[in-house]
Every structure is written in structure tokens, then in C-alpha cells.
Structure 1
Amino acid sequence: MSFAQLIQDAWNEQAKWLVVFRPLSWLYRGGFLLNKKLYQSGIKQSYKAPIPVMVIGNITVGGSGKTPLLIHLVSYLNSLKLRVGVISRGYGGQGPFPAYVDLDSTAEIVGDEPSLIVQSTGVPMAVGPNRQQSIELLLSKHELDLIICDDGLQHWALQRQLEWIVLDNNRGLGNEKLLPEGYLREPKKRLASGTVIEHSADPSSPLNMHLEAAQPYLLNKDLVTTFDANKDFYAVVGIGFPQRFYKTLENMGIHQFQCHEFPDHYEYELSDLQFEDANPIITTEKDAVKILAILKNNPDFKREIWVVPVDAVLSPACYETLHAQLKQLGLKLPEGI
């Protein structure tokens, strides 16, 4: 087990021994607050884009459901005839940056989540650590009404007009400690300064969402077979909170699977997909964009690889809040909204 996986498991279990990291958490907090203050005071310069920016992020490390939410919002905003562009850090991508993301872009170059976002929506997207450069690249190619920043909640170099913070109640805030003693990127009180979207199947807030799984599809396009939930599967997953995926499988009636977890944004190799028997693999769409490259380079690999797509389902209050926020920004919506 890697150290990253060890820490991830300890966070999820709220292990007592994490207290040894408390001095590092104090250092992290001091450095984070100092950096934020430098931007707020103007000592460090932040960039204001010529069009509104909406940040979708979280205050925790690991998965919260923000990518399915972003994909849903892009599709919904496009249905309102708003011209939307997306930027991202492009974590896991090798660049060079800034990089424009299109349907031919590979996860190796631009990152797994950007590849998934563009494949799902076709949205104009650019990635790179410098968000200003990414926005300028997008605006040099497209006329846009709104920029959505995937993650970047703690990226104070970019000014934003809207913040949606996804709070996954399935995972919660753990021990509510900052990195590395806990998995919080910011103190809990940060939730008071943005629009919090509760990710939960049993929400307590009117602003909520949940994920619904759709019918699994076969990643191996050359294989002809049908999905059978009663088979024995290898659940191969490299996301921030794999337990959510396992719960999804169980809710779909898939109960016979062996868990094979890898770190978030893991770069798969062929050996990671090879097992002693011929049982199928089942995985997430985020993992699939990287596994697909392995299949293309290894056409003789014939094991079934099933992908579980998920859709974000938002409460009515989310749309009402979004409409009000967009109108405050001066964006024109269709009549009746």
C-alpha cells in the first residue's frame, strides 16, 4: 500500500494516530491564511476576467461529486443558450500548458477530468496551472458569457463572482482538521462564504444533489456481449472516495466484486488490468478515459471492461438559486425563468 493510500484510509477512518501531523497542520493553516491575506490586501495581484467566473469546488481533498455536477451544469446552461467555457488545473496532465482540450485530447496531456468533461459535453475548455492564461486562450477562440472553473476554490489568484461548494455528506468533514491531520483544505467556516450544495441521498438542505447511475456500457468496442450484474467483477477505481463507487454498484444490484483501489488520478498500466481469471472489470468514467488509451495500445486485450456513467440530479432550489445568481451577473436568461 502506498503512503498516499495509507493517509487516505486513515482520513476516512478518522484514525487517532493522525494527531502526529498536527504541527504540520498548523504550518499549513498559517501558510494558507497568509497567502489568502496577501491576495485580499492587494500585495499579491489577482486576475479579474472580462466575463463572469463561477468556481465549483470543495474544501476537502478527494472526490465530492463536483465533476458530475459541472458536467450537468454545462449541459443545462447550454440549454439556456448561454455560451459557457470551462477551465481547470489539468491535474495529472503533462502539458504543455495552457492546453486547449478537444475530443482528440488525451488524459495523459490534459488530465482525466478535463478529458471526461469535454467528451461528455463538447464544451470549450482549457487547462493549466495559470488560470489567467487558460481564460485568455479560451477567449481568443470563443465568444463566451460565463467561465466555469473546475476546482480552484482555494486559487486566490483568480477573482470569481460565484462559488458553489460541494459538500459530500456521505463522507462529511472527517475529523474537521486541516491537511495533513485531516482532509480539509480550508477551515469549516469557509462554507459560510459560498453557495453550499449538499451531496446526499437524504439531504437536510434544500440546495442538494445526488448521483444516479445509468446502464453500464462496454469500453471494449470490439466485444459483443450484454451486461450481467450477477457476474463476478473486479472493481478497478482510482478516485478520491472509492467507497461511493462501491455503494453505487451495490445499489445497482452488483454485489460480487473485488475492490482494486488506486490513488486519485492514477496512471494505469496494462498490468493493473490483468488478473488470473477472465472475470470482467467494472470502473468509473473518470478511470475509463485513461484505461481506453491502454486498450488502444493493446488490441489483443479482450477482458470485458464495463463503465458506470453517473448523472447529477439537482434539487429545484439549486436551479432557482442559479437563475437568481445569473441574473444578478447580468446574464440574459430565456423568458419565464
Structure 2
Amino acid sequence: VPVVVIGNITAGGSGKTPLVLYVVQALARRGWRPGIVSRGFGGRVQGIQAVSPESDATLVGDEPLLLARRAGCPVFVGRDRVAAAQALMFAHPDCNVLIADDGLQHLHLGRDVEIVVIDERGIGNGWPLPAGPLRECPARINEAHALVLNGDAPVPAGVEPRLMFGMHLVGDRFHNLHDPQRTCGVEAFRGRRLHALAGIGHPARFFRQLERMGLRAEQHAFPDHHAFRKADLAFVGDGIMLMTEKDAVKCQAFAPPETWVFPVEAQLDPDLAQWLVEKLNGCQTA
């Protein structure tokens, strides 16, 4: 079974989860039966765990739970991604392609396609962790099959990717956390007291997105994968809270009624999906 690894060379959110969703949905539309394996950062799972839409985010992690709710395919998590992949294939033998979420540095997992994604922060100060954001040197991008530039991401100096694709995260509707059938546009929040909450790798991206939509909100940034508690939301009072999908999966049990979620979708050049299908077809016939 071919394996597609989607990752980055820096710490912090660069847009991997929306890209994973895009790839899974694009492949499914073309007749593939994908499955997802993930580390489950922020979760406390021991061993290997199948993730369902009803799973506990504190156990399996926020990103895998979001993927399980949105992707429409099997999702398995585990520190050992090879074991997670084997467990997924045993439980779902009809799966014919695996997508590894954030698996670039997990070299024990074989891969047929590597896709690296970076955002507008690029490589930051160019230093490795902990002095900077780099997990690997920028030249690692040259070894991957493709580079995806999220938003206004720059191509790092000295990097010559084999292929490049642009990506933008878009959204225009909010839905109520407790009643997803209730949706509204940005006009419903203008002139209201707003709080924006983000416990993601790059909270400023969410805050800027709201500002570009004309919304002025008090900003509350939390660490990536933060394990939210009711006390964390005490600032809301009589205001309205806006949050990301990734945070919403952890706050549903205690968030106030006027909590609204802003889902985003990845938009990419259709050539990426066509290129990926051709690569995967080549893997099957090799």
C-alpha cells in the first residue's frame, strides 16, 4: 500500500491538517480508499488507538479527532506510526493508500511520496530547535517530492524544490459549537463584543483572518494542543466566543452557548491532485 507523508521542517502549525483533509478528499473523489495515521500530539493514548468522531480529544489528540470527524476515512494514532499503519490495515484491509499526518521526521515509516508544507513564517530565524523553529535543515525540502506554500509563504533561500503548489485556507461561515445546524456569516458579529480563542501552532493566523473579515475581537492565544478547561474560558462573560475547529473539539463539554466555530478549507491548484494520483498509480504498477 503506498504511503503519502505530509509534514514540515518547522515546529508549529503550518497548515498540515487542512492539507491532509484536502488530499484525503481529493483521492476519495478519484476512487481511492485512504486511511490516516497520526502521532496524536496532545493526547495521552498509550499504544495504538482507532479514532472515531466520538473519541476523547484528551486521549487521541485534537488533530486526529478533527480528521476523524471531517475526513470520512479510518484514522489511527500511535507513537509508533509503523504499528499504527499496520493496525489500520488489519482493521481496514480495503484501504489502498495511507496518509501520514506530520510524519516527515518519522523515518521508520516507509514512504512513496513526501509533501512538505510551509507557511508565511518560512524558516523563522533559521536556527534549529530550541533556538529556532527548525526540525531539520531547509535543504531537506529538496529531498521531498513537492513543496506546498501556504498563503504568502516564501521559498527558503537555497532551496530548489522539485515541484511547488500554492495553498490558501478559506472560509466564510461560522457554525454554533453546540448546534452545528445554526450557521451565520460575519455580519452577525459586527458591533458585538467578541473574544477570539486559538490554541494552535500559529494563533496569529486565525486572529488575522478574523481581522481581514472586519471583526475586532479580544485575542486569547494558548499553546498548541492546549488541554482546555472550563476555567480557561472564564473571560467570555456576556461576550461571543470565536474559535478554530481544532480548539472546538476540546471545548464542547464546557464552552458557553454563544461559542462559534470557524471552519476553513484548503484550496489548491487541481494539478496537485492529478500529480499525486499519477505518482500513486506508478507505485501500484512498480
TM surpasses 0.5: yes
Rounded Cα–Cα distance in structure 1 between residues aligned with 2:183 and 2:68: 28
Rounded Cα–Cα distance in structure 2 between residues aligned with 1:216 and 1:223: 10
> Residues 58 and 226 from structure 1, CA distance in 2 versus in 1: closer, same or farther, beyond 3 angstroms?
closer
| Aligned residue identity for 2:123 | L
Tell me, yes or no, if the aligned pair for 1:178 and 1:184 is still in contact at 8 Å: yes
| Aligned residue identity for 1:257 | A
Spell out the pairing of 1:179-190 with structure 2 (5 A cutoff): 179-190=129-140
Aligned to 1:236: 197
> Deviation digits for residues 131-173 of structure 1, max 9, x if unmatched?
12111211111121111100010111111111000011x1111
Q: Decide which of 256, 259, 265 is 2:225's aligned counterpart.
A: 265
Aligned to 1:144: 95
Rounded Cα–Cα distance in structure 1 between residues aligned with 2:272 and 2:222: 33
Q: Which has the higher strand share?
A: 2
> Deviation digits for residues 291-323 of structure 1, max 9, x if unmatched?
11334xxxxx44x11110000001133223213
| Aligned residue identity for 2:168 | H
Tell me, yes or no, if the aligned pair for 2:242 and 2:260 is still in contact at 8 Å: yes
Aligned to 2:151: 200
Aligned to 1:219: 177
Say whether residues 1:52 and 2:2 are aligned partners.
Answer: yes
Say whether residues 1:289 and 2:240 are aligned partners.
Answer: no
RMSD: 2.1
Rounded Cα–Cα distance in structure 1 between residues aligned with 2:82 and 2:235: 45
The number of residue pairs the alignment matches comes to: 274
- Which ranges in structure 1 are unaligned for 5 or more consecutive residues? 1-50, 296-300, 332-337
Say whether residues 1:98 and 2:52 are aligned partners.
Answer: no
- Report deviation, 1:324: 2.5
- Which ranges in structure 2 are unaligned for 5 or more consecutive residues? 156-162
| Aligned residue identity for 1:253 | G
Aligned to 1:34: none
Aligned to 2:270: 316
Rounded Cα–Cα distance in structure 2 between residues aligned with 1:224 and 1:107: 23
> Residues 218 and 156 from structure 1, CA distance in 2 versus in 1: closer, same or farther, beyond 3 angstroms?
same
Rounded Cα–Cα distance in structure 2 between residues aligned with 1:330 and 1:225: 43
Aligned to 1:3: none
Rounded Cα–Cα distance in structure 2 between residues aligned with 1:94 and 1:68: 23
Tell me, yes or no, if the aligned pair for 2:121 and 2:153 is still in contact at 8 Å: no
Tell me, yes or no, if the aligned pair for 1:208 and 1:318 is still in contact at 8 Å: no
Aligned to 1:67: 17
Rounded Cα–Cα distance in structure 1 between residues aligned with 2:268 and 2:53: 27
> Residues 276 and 241 from structure 1, CA distance in 2 versus in 1: closer, same or farther, beyond 3 angstroms?
closer
> Residues 317 and 239 from structure 1, CA distance in 2 versus in 1: closer, same or farther, beyond 3 angstroms?
same
> Residues 117 and 216 from structure 1, CA distance in 2 versus in 1: closer, same or farther, beyond 3 angstroms?
same
Rounded Cα–Cα distance in structure 2 between residues aligned with 1:201 and 1:214: 20
Rounded Cα–Cα distance in structure 2 between residues aligned with 1:146 and 1:281: 38
Spell out the pairing of 1:78-89 with structure 2 (5 A cutoff): 78-89=28-39
Tell me, yes or no, if the aligned pair for 1:199 and 1:208 is still in contact at 8 Å: yes
Aligned to 1:39: none
> Deviation digits for residues 216-259 of structure 1, max 9, x if unmatched?
111132997956231221111101111111121122221x1011
Which contiguous aligned blocks of 4+ residues in structure 1 show a shift greater than 4 angstroms?
201-206, 222-227
- Report deviation, 1:126: 0.6
- Report deviation, 1:99: 0.2
